[in-house]
């Protein structure tokens, strides 16, 4: 390492929880997440240069350094501060790509911090986050340490005190997954659910309909799971909790079958109501 250079670690993150609340018109998703940084990290070394230079080691073979988030972060910081010089950046990859660990975002965040120091541009973390959110939703959280609640598209961050260290074992079971493609598939699931209901393809509902509150509610009231199981055992093609609970509903193939289930389950469950959806 040259005398004028220095190293910054770009720590990965994990999501203890990730809830998708809605999708904005620009395609970004409104999220509610519990995020914590971990010790797995890429390393970035910064030094002065006349122009912007990026060398990447231990990177995937298909990595395009010209479109790398580190370069995008550098260009964004130059534009925001009108800095005229360059930098020599060496990035050593350790975080698996397309893994949900925020490796690219962590690199971009580290680039903003490192270049802000190298170029003495004097921006605050909040100002760096404002630049970072334009690069990716995971960049602002990667400018924070420890445990945090992250909402919005990633720009609303509430640090949580008292974070502890827990041993982790990370496994990537196969190829990486594109964040954009996963969210696209998530959105498509809601479309599939709507189409399944319209076309009476009820057997598909279990694959595409989920209530993110159900596991929490079931811990508070375990009978929810039993009610779902009873509905399925008595002919429901799909059963799930509605809203925040505690009512669960079962979807049946015909009026006759739902009446048969009702005749049995009304003796087991005090509130057992026949109903139907409205067209």
Best CA proximity match to 212, nearest among 57, 72, 21, 35: 21
SS3 call for 261 = helix
SS3 call for 49 = strand
Alpha helices (H) along 199-254: 205-208, 214-220, 223-233
Cis amide bond preceding 246, omega within 30? yes
Q: How far apart are CA 259 and CA 256, in angstroms?
A: 5
Active-site choice (42, 107, 138, 230)? 138
Best CA proximity match to 241, nearest among 263, 258, 254, 222: 222
SS3 call for 264 = helix
- Annotation marks residue 13 as catalytic: yes
Half-sphere exposure in the Cβ direction for 105 (13 Å, CA)? 26
Active-site choice (4, 13, 187, 267)? 13
Which residues, other chains included, contact 102 with Cβ-Cβ below 8 Å and sequence gap of 6+?
12, 13, 95, 138, 141, 142
Handedness of CA 247, 251, 252, 254 (dihedral sign): positive
Q: How far apart are CA 12 and CA 99, in angstroms?
A: 10
Any idea which residues carry the catalytic annotation? 13, 138
């Amino acid at each position: 390492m040259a005398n004028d250079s220095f190293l910054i670690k770009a720590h990965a993150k994990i999501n203890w929880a990730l809830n998708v609340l809605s999708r904005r018109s620009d395609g970004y998703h409104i999220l509610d997440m519990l995020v914590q940084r971990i010790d797995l990290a890429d390393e970035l070394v910064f030094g002065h240069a006349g122009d912007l230079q990026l060398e990447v080691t231990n990177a995937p073979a298909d990595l395009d350094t010209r479109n790398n988030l580190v370069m995008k972060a550098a260009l964004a910081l130059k534009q925001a501060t009108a800095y005229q010089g360059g930098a020599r950046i060496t990035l050593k990859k350790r975080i698996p790509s397309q893994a949900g660990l925020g490796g690219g975002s962590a690199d971009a965040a580290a680039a903003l911090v490192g270049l802000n120091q190298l170029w003495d541009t004097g921006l605050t973390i909040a100002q760096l986050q404002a630049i970072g959110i334009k690069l990716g939703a995971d960049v602002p959280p990667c400018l924070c340490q420890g445990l945090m609640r992250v909402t919005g598209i990633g720009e609303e961050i509430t640090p949580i005190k008292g974070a502890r260290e827990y041993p982790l074992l990370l496994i990537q079971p196969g190829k990486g997954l594109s964040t954009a493609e996963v969210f696209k598939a998530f959105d498509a699931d809601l479309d599939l659910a709507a189409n399944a209901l319209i076309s009476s393809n009820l057997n598909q509902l279990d694959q595409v309909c989920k209530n993110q509150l159900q596991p929490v509610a079931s811990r508070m009231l375990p009978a929810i799971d039993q009610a779902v199981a009873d509905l399925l055992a008595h002919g429901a093609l799909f059963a799930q909790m509605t809203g925040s609970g505690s009512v669960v509903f079962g979807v049946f193939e015909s009026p006759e079958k739902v009446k048969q289930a009702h005749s049995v389950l009304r003796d087991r469950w005090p509130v057992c109501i026949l109903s139907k959806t409205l067209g």
